[in-house]
Amino acid sequence: MRIKEETITLKDGRELTLRSAEEKDAQTMLDYIVKTAEETHFLVRYPEEISPDIEREKRIINDSLEAEASAWFTVFDGDKAVGNCSISRHRNHIKLKHRCDFAIALEQAYCGCGLGTILMTKAIDKAKELGFEQIELGVYADNKKGIALY
């Protein structure tokens, strides 16, 4: 689904744009995914596991825009993607429809300034709005910032 565009201000005063990623953002999204995978070991993929296929990335972005039970909150510094937070339905089975998966990753230069808190709050509000009752995530035991946020 598409989210409403807005300007957000970090604790250090930087102003960023929160909006849905569009097809035109496919390359900057790929760059951001690789960069965040390189910067820490906290994400599930190693950088070399990320496909550089831009047409595939465009399809993933379009699928997320069309999905009724999924929302991406993507953060841009100008035209550059620097963070993303998402919720998406866990499975389509009726017994599991109340559960959604949560994911978040910011480039290191944008960490520790309240952005994770802003994005997570928006994701929780959206999950409630969509009728989810349970939000699920995984986190490595040594991810102090992640655990502090959750």
Residues that bind ligand COA in the complex, under the rule CB under 6 A: 36, 40, 42-43, 104-106, 111-117, 139, 143-146, 148-149
Q: Judged by CB, which is closer to ligand COA: 26, or 106?
A: 106
In sequence order, the 6+-apart residues with CB closer than 8 A to the CB of 64 are 1, 20, 21, 70, 71, 72, 86, 88
Q: Judged by CB, which is closer to ligand COA: 20, or 40?
A: 40
Q: Judged by CB, which is closer to ligand COA: 35, or 97?
A: 35
CB of 18 to ligand COA, least distance (A): 13
Rounded to 5°, angle at Cα 134 from 1 and 108: 65
Helix crossing, 54-66 with 26-39: angle to 10°? 100
Burial of 14: CB neighbours in 10 Å, binned 0-12, 13-18, 19+: middle
CB of 43 to ligand COA, least distance (A): 6
Amino acid code (one letter) for 95: K
CB of 108 to ligand COA, least distance (A): 7
Q: Judged by CB, which is closer to ligand COA: 1, or 111?
A: 111
